[in-house]
Amino acid sequence: MASAEHGPGPTPPTFTDAPKVLIVAAPFYRDIADNLISGARAALEAGGCSHELIEVPGALEIPTAIRLAEGHYDGFVALGCVIRGETTHYETVCNDSSRALTLLGIERRICLGNGILTVENRAQAEVRANPAEMNKGGGAAEAALHLMALSRRFRGAASGDAIKMATGGDLV
């Protein structure tokens, strides 16, 4: 069973000038993806973001879709689920999708939250995807919100664009 021993992260920022976020989901396991999407949407709406959703066949296609959409959105949320099977394909999909997303963030300066679940079984995926339990879709969206806030801070936000942080003060 999943353990929720770690504490919550920092409170996500909210934006007065709504960023545009693209959720890229791989619905290979439809029910799992739907829960991840639900959690991500709720977090983005709470942060004052507008968002769109596109779907791709699998986790390996998520980084390519994000790269293709670069420049059209302020941030991205990658959602999917990879459950270990009987072959080494699991390791390939997990490692390559994660590495590609990390490189997009580092090399392309793309603000994204990685919500691709990598689990041993369906029960683990269900707990992690459920917005009422571990809410990993919401967590990925919150990671994207934090990175968008940092991006605006370091590049200098547009006049009148304030980002409210957990302390209640403006970040920019």
Identity of residue 3:
S
CA angle 65, 82, 35 (to 5 degrees): 80
Whether the CA torsion 10, 7, 59, 99 is positive or negative: it is positive
User: Measured between alpha carbons, how far is residue 116 from residues 36, 62, 145, 158, 172 in Å?
Assistant: 9, 9, 17, 32, 30
Structure tokens at 96: 């390559």
**Has 89 been annotated as catalytic?**
yes
Pairwise CA distance, residues 24 & 98, whole Å: 14
The one catalytic residue in 6, 51, 72, 89 is: 89
Catalytic annotation, residues: 89
